[in-house]
Structure 1
Amino acid sequence: MNRTPLFLILSLAAACRRDPPQRPGAAAAHAPAAAAPAPAARPGAPPAASIDPPAAADAFRETGRFLPQGATLPGWSQSGAVRLVNGQELFQLIDGAGEKYISYGFRQLARTDYRKAGTELVVTAEVYDMGSPLGAFGQYSMLLSDSRDPASMRSRAVAHGGGGFLGTSQLVFWKGQYLVQLNLADDSGEQDESALASAAREVLPALASRLAGAIPGDVTPPAGARALPVEGLVWGGATYLSNGVLGLEQTGAGWVGHYEAAGNQRYRVAVMTRGSADEARALLQRFRVPGATALPGVGEEAFSTPTLAAARKGVTVVVVGAPAPEVLPPLAPEGRSERLRAIVTALP
């Protein structure tokens, strides 16, 4: 018996069957129930995934021992791991600037985050062990004066450790052999600079006080800073460079001061001391250019160029040069030579 017709009849009957009509507004019996709407997130509240649990107590070791643990300030708590970065590993974190830190004696960085409950504000705290107070002060002084007039930051000075400054969303200070950098960010992506600056003024000085109280060390600038003349030195004007004094490559280390003369004229003074008179003599010649004019009676040898006046007395080289940044009104060439003469004459 051929069963094909019967099979086709049954198949067509099943295909023609329809579910009974639904009552207006009623859900189909086999349809999944609609999910209840999720509660609305608080405005500005970070997603749960962005809040990391605090680090364990034993993570706060070595340089990290200075970082506050747990609930550090009202509404703020430590969040996530404590990262320790040693020596050359720093290049993996700050490739472009790593060499500068290494040149100042960098040993270790301890880094962690602090978050404010109910917001996406996060402070990244960094404590750098620079190996010596000279290294910490030197790197701090470079951050203060790099590409700007340090005197312009006077209104933003803070009294943490040996001194520091507060920018729009960053606070930097040094103490002993340690350099501290606190950076505030808003992970929500909303770039409200005014609100960020207001939050920075609230939290960064308070966190800096905690850190400054925990970090040991002297707050007096290194003894080498006394090589710079005091007269006319602007606020934050004492800078220690590990190399590249006055922009000249391979000079070795030296102190550079930023100065202001009468009439708002600006200039810089570099003082570099070497191990022997021969080393100092060779260094002086690095600043000489064709057409330099001799300056008789200034130290043991001296000359002037269109941009600077330089001299050597014993093992010390002194250079009076143009201001930085270059937009500042410069001291006239005659004034540079006179200032050089006065400084060199006062040297022992």
Structure 2
Amino acid sequence: MKERQLVSCFLFVYLTLGVVHPLWASNSDWKAFAFPEVTGWKQSGEIQTFTPKTLFEYINGGADLYLTYDFQELKVAEYSNEKKASVTIEVYRHRTSIHAFGIYSQERLSDANFLDIGAQSYIEANVLNFVAGPYYVKINSFNTGPDDREILIAFAKKVSETLGERGALPSILSSFPEEGKKKNSEKFISKNFLGYSFLHSAFTADYSLSGTTFKLFVIESAEKGDCKDMIEKYLQRTRNPGQNISEGLFNISDPYHGEIDLCWKGEYIWGIFNAKDLALRSKYLRLFEEGLQKRK
């Protein structure tokens, strides 16, 4: 009986909606996705699929960066119209929404024209990129003339609707102090923060205040012990011995990044570098701590 109902249900979908090819349905965490139909446009050629092992075939030279952000799969579709214009849609699926934001943040232009599509999106001539949940979507247009912006937005909205989730930017970004922060400068570094393998993923943001430019960062760990281990290894690597490894403030002379002030409390390590003024460093460490406390 259940098998008959399943067949009937599939037949109903087939007759009413036509054949739908779900691209991602093997994992229950991923919703089935099919490239949308767009009025006046037709898909040209077959949908291309790339995995971590084959991604270099599509973006040779850039695949390694995507792989550091737990890239899972890429689907690519091309569309064309009667005016010989074309649009290419690339949908990158990453392991988590944070990893998707991470690769998006690496390619995002901070001074771009931002739109309200997905968790965040931006548009430039012949390019519209957006992030939504674990998906990073890149849309490129060719020979679209004066209608380029309208065409890109139409495609982006269709893809966003098909993905079925708007998502949101990582909540920890709200902990960064607002004063002096450069808009849309936030990034997620997935591995080897500051070039050290023992400092795993970190969120960063750029700041400018009274002619001084500096950077803030935060590392979120699953366990308190991980933070202690990271700080201990950092002190050893930078030859800053003699500091008590307990929650609190650390001043580190990093041979590659200069003087760094960082704090450890609970599962968070947050810090500031490229700022020489002691009062400024203290102020922003305090503001950052207040922002992190609001998350609890």
Bucket of the pairwise TM-score, normalised by the shorter protein: 0.7 to 0.9
| Counterpart-to-counterpart distance in 2, 1:257 and 1:92 | 33
Q: Return the TM-score normalized by structure 1.
A: 0.64
Pairwise CA RMSD of aligned residues? Answer: 3.2
Give 1:144's aligned residue.
108
Contact 1:310 1:319 in 2 (8 A): yes
CA distance in 2: counterparts of 1:137 and 1:169, whole angstroms? 21
Alignment partner of 1:238 out of 186, 197, 203: 186
Distance 1:126 1:301, change over 3 A: same
Matches within 5 A, 1:51-90: 60-63=21-24, 65-69=33-37, 72-74=38-40, 76-90=41-55
Query: Which runs of structure 2 are paired with 1:18-29 in the superposition (5 Å)?
Result: none
* Contact 2:218-2:269 at 8 Å conserved across structures: yes
Alignment of 1:260-271 (within 5 A): 260-261=208-209, 263-271=210-218
Larger radius of gyration: 1
Deviates more, 1:198-207 or 1:109-118: 198-207
State the number of aligned residues.
Answer: 262
* Identical-residue share of aligned pairs (%): 18
Equivalent AA in structure 2 for residue 160 of structure 1: I
Q: Is this contact kept in 2: 1:309–1:340, CA < 8 A?
A: no
Alignment of 1:315 onto 2:272: no
Give 1:200 deviation, angstroms. Answer: 3.0
Is 1:174 equivalent to 2:131 in the alignment?
A: yes
2:261 maps to amino acid: A
Matched-pair contact (CA < 8 Å) for 1:132–1:176: yes
Alignment of 1:1-348 (within 5 A): 60-63=21-24, 65-69=33-37, 72-74=38-40, 76-119=41-84, 121-144=85-108, 150=110, 152-153=111-112, 156-186=113-143, 198-261=146-209, 263-284=210-231, 300-305=248-253, 306-322=258-274, 331-334=275-278, 336-343=280-287, 345-346=289-290, 347-348=292-293
Unmatched 5+ residue regions in structure 2?
1-17, 25-31
Displacement of 1:309 in angstroms is 2.4
Contact 2:92 2:135 in 1 (8 A): yes
1-structure distance, mates of 2:152, 2:166:
22
* One-letter amino acid of the structure 2 residue matched with residue 96 of structure 1: G
Shift of the 181–333 alpha-carbon distance from structure 1 to 2, 3 Å rule, reads same
Q: Does structure 1 conserve the Cα–Cα contact (< 8 Å) formed by 2:47 and 2:76?
A: yes
Task: Give, as a single letter, the amino acid of the residue that structure 1 aligns with 2:218.
Answer: V
CA change 1:95–1:295 in 2 (3 A) is same
SS in 2 for 1:268: strand
Q: Is the 8 A contact 1:287 1:310 kept in 2?
A: no
1:161–1:212 contact (8 Å) kept in structure 2:
yes
**Runs of at least 5 residues in structure 1 that lack an aligned partner in the other structure:** 1-56, 187-194, 323-330
Distance 2:288 2:177 in 1: 10
Displacement, 1:286?
A: 5.7
Query: Once the two structures are superposed, what CA deviation does each residue of 1:272-302 show, in whole Å capped at 9, x if it has no partner?
Result: 0224444323423565586879999x96231
Note if contact 1:227-1:271 (Cα within 8 Å) is conserved in structure 2.
no
Q: Provide closer, same or farther for how the CA distance between residues 250 and 205 of structure 1 changes in structure 2, counting only shifts above 3 A.
A: farther
Q: Report the alpha carbon displacement of residue 161 of structure 1 after superposing the two structures with TM.
A: 0.9
Contact 1:141–1:240, Cα closer than 8 Å, also in 2: yes
- 1:303-338 per-position Cα deviation (integer Å, ceiling 9, x unaligned): 05445322323332112124xxxxxxxx54335522
Counterpart amino acid of residue 81 in structure 2: K
Whole-Å separation in 1 of the counterparts to 2:251 and 2:86: 53
State the one-letter code of the partner of 1:111: V
- Give the CA deviation at 1:173: 0.2
Structure 1 residues 314 and 68, CA, compared in 2 at 3 Å: closer, same or farther? Answer: closer
